[in-house]
A = this chain, B = another copy of it.
């Protein structure tokens, strides 16, 4: 009897899209206004989905406080009010597209989440553009 539990968090960050193997012109062509050298930014909404069995004593799949603390420690404290390209080591050599940010967040949460749970990440860059990653 498996139930999925979802927790929604958010962080505000600056970023730019950029591939260091390309010259400025190609970066501009491929990434358009997202390539602005001075950065732009987003209110990122993050939904963390954890699937597991209901614990018969608590009635919880996972205490949402534990899940929320993992997200805070691994993601929000490190990404919120930051420049993803400059302040977050994972993006030193990785282009911070929504897709790549989702994979990085999935890995960061997976490290701390009990292996009995499955994990899916949904990341909203805007209300109209979002991505989802389940680890495979």
Return chain B residues, CB-CB under 8 Å to A133: 2-4
State whether B7 touches A40 (Cβ < 8 A). no
Return chain B residues, CB-CB under 8 Å to A126: 10, 12, 43
The complex places the Cα of A65 from the Cα of B34 at a distance, in Å, of: 12
Tally A residues with Cβ within 8 Å of B.
63
The complex places the Cα of A96 from the Cα of B41 at a distance, in Å, of: 14
State whether A58 touches B7 (Cβ < 8 A). no
Rounded to whole Å, the gap between the CB of A34 and the closest CB of chain B is 6
Interface membership of A86, Cβ < 8 A: yes
State whether B38 touches A3 (Cβ < 8 A). no
Interface membership of A99, Cβ < 8 A: yes
**Given A54-B103, A103-B3, A132-B3: A82 and B32 interface contact (C-beta under 8 Å):** no
Please report A residues at the B interface, Cβ cutoff 8 Å. 1-10, 12-15, 17, 19, 21, 30-34, 36, 38-43, 54, 57-61, 63-65, 80-83, 86-87, 94-100, 102-103, 126-134, 136
